[in-house]
Amino acid sequence: MEVKSIEVIEIKIKLEEIGPRDGFQNVKEFIPTDIKLKIIDGIVSAGYKKIEITSLVSPKAIPQMRDAQEVIKSCLKRYPDVELFALVPNLYGARTAVELGLKEVCPVISLSETHNKANVNKTVEESLRQIKEIKETFPKLKLTIDIATAFACPFEGEMKLEDLIALIQKLYDMGIRSFMLCDTIGKAYPKQVEKVFRTVKSEFKDCTFGAHIHDTRNMGILNTYIAIENGADSIQTSLGGLGGCPFAPGASGNTSSEDLVYALNQDGYDTGIDFDKLLEVAKYEKSVIEGNYSGHHINIESDICKR
Q: Tell me which residues are annotated as active site.
A: 245
Half-sphere exposure of 296 (CA within 13 A, CB side): 30
Classify burial at 91, counting beta carbons within 10 Å of its beta carbon; exposed 0-12, middle 13-18, buried 19 or more. Answer: middle
Cβ atoms 299, 305 nearer than 8 A: yes
Write b or e for each residue in 26-58: b if 16 or more Cβ atoms lie within 10 A of its Cβ, otherwise e: bbeeebeeeebbebbebbbebbbebbbbbbbbe
Q: How far apart are CA 175 and CA 139, in angstroms?
A: 10
* Element containing residue 148 per DSSP (H, E): strand 145-148
Q: How far apart are CA 183 and CA 155, in angstroms?
A: 14
Q: How far apart are CA 47 and CA 74, in angstroms?
A: 18
Q: How far apart are CA 55 and CA 100, in angstroms?
A: 13
In the DSSP assignment, the letter for residue 54 is E
Q: How far apart are CA 152 and CA 159, in angstroms?
A: 5
Q: How far apart are CA 155 and CA 55, in angstroms?
A: 25
Half-sphere exposure of 304 (CA within 13 A, CB side): 11
CB atoms within 10 A of CB 20: 27
Q: How far apart are CA 78 and CA 81, in angstroms?
A: 9
In the DSSP assignment, the letter for residue 262 is H
Cβ atoms 38, 254 nearer than 8 A: no
